[in-house]
Structure 1
Amino acid sequence: MHAEERRETILKLLRQSAQPVSASTLAGQLSVSRQIIVGDIALLRAGGADILATPRGYCLQNAAAAGLTRRVAVRHDEAGMEVELNTMVDNGCTVVDVIVEHPLYGQLTGPLQLSSRYDVAQFIARSRTAQPLSVLTGGIHLHTLLCPSEDAYRRVLDALRQAGFLLEG
């Protein structure tokens, strides 16, 4: 398989997948190294493909995703992270990303794409080897949520408020 054909196959596989696909999985399916896939993804992005790298793998940005996009401002320590994320996914929302304001770099965004307790558990397990972005800001951060309804978003806000995590003006 030639490089251009492989890159088209990568795009096809990402379009067909409802979940992020790891570089290792793509490498196995295409019989190349993980590093070749990482390079292909970089070239696809440079060519305009809207590929998002999440902690669980690559996916295509889906501008037509069903639901309401909302942002929520929160503050908690590392111990509160799992409770916060499970609160969001338990109410049917996908945690799209985390955003912090860094004094030197400005806004830093980390893609998450967490939509189930399983996703959250995997993320929490990985967080044991690296610090979350929120440590840079004393626990203050934003999440972009994709919620199935305004009611689901309100339930998330209420639960975060009760847990003492919600930042309100």
Structure 2
Amino acid sequence: MKTKERRDAIIEILKKSEVPVPAKSLASRFNVSRQAIVQDLTVIRAYTSGIASTPKGYVMIKDQGHAFQKEFKMYHESDQTEQELFLIVDHGGKVKNVSISHRVYGRISVDLDIRSRQDARDFMEAFQGSKSKYLGEVTSGYHYHLVEADNEQRLKLIEQKLMEAGLLAPLSPWEKEESGMEEA
């Protein structure tokens, strides 16, 4: 199979799959190395929108219709990460990504696609027995989550629950200006 044929087949697999597809699984299917699949997906993602890399594999983001999104600025200790994720998914949200704003490196964002408690547990388990740290630890607990929900009321409920739990961080004046929020 030629490279272009393999890449086209990968796109079709991702379109049809309802769950993330690990690179290792694709490598086995096409009898190539995992690294070859990762390289294929780098090229594919450059010209195909809607493909996300998650801790569990690659997904083709399906058109959600009229989903609503809001970015929340968070601040908490790393041992509160599971609580944060559970609050979001338990109240109808999907954690699309995590981002940090670093003084030297600028904005760094990673796709997550956490939709359920099980997704959150899987994410947390990926860190067990590892020296890897949560992205927010690079910025002393400050980070952002882009959250998606079916309607604006869900996003407001999620914001309220995160605030009640003490997990939200106030936006700085420049962040308010960038987001178009007015001073209260």
State the number of aligned residues: 167
What corresponds to 1:49 in structure 2? 48
What corresponds to 1:140 in structure 2? 142
What corresponds to 1:7 in structure 2? 7
What corresponds to 1:104 in structure 2? 104
Post-superposition CA distance 1:103-152 (Å, at most 9, x none):
11111111111001111001001123210110111111110011111121
TM score, norm. by length of structure 1: 0.91
| Superposition map of 1:13-162 within 5 A | 13-46=13-46, 48-50=47-49, 51-62=51-62, 64-66=63-65, 67-128=67-128, 129=130, 130-162=132-164
Q: Which runs of 4+ in 1 moved over 4 A?
A: none
Distance, in Å, in 1 between the alignment partners of 2:136 and 2:7 is 35
Q: Percent identity?
A: 32
Alpha-carbon offset, residue 22 of structure 1: 0.7
User: Alpha carbon RMSD of aligned pairs, Å?
Assistant: 1.6
Letter in 1 for 2:104: L
Distance, in Å, in 2 between the alignment partners of 1:138 and 1:117 is 25
Distance, in Å, in 2 between the alignment partners of 1:109 and 1:15 is 23
Letter in 2 for 1:134: G
Post-superposition CA distance 1:23-77 (Å, at most 9, x none):
012122323322221121123234x123322211112345x32310111111100
Distance, in Å, in 2 between the alignment partners of 1:94 and 1:151 is 14
Distance, in Å, in 1 between the alignment partners of 2:117 and 2:16 is 23
TM score, norm. by length of structure 2: 0.84
**5+ residue gaps, structure 2:** 172-184
**5+ residue gaps, structure 1:** none
Distance, in Å, in 1 between the alignment partners of 2:71 and 2:42 is 29
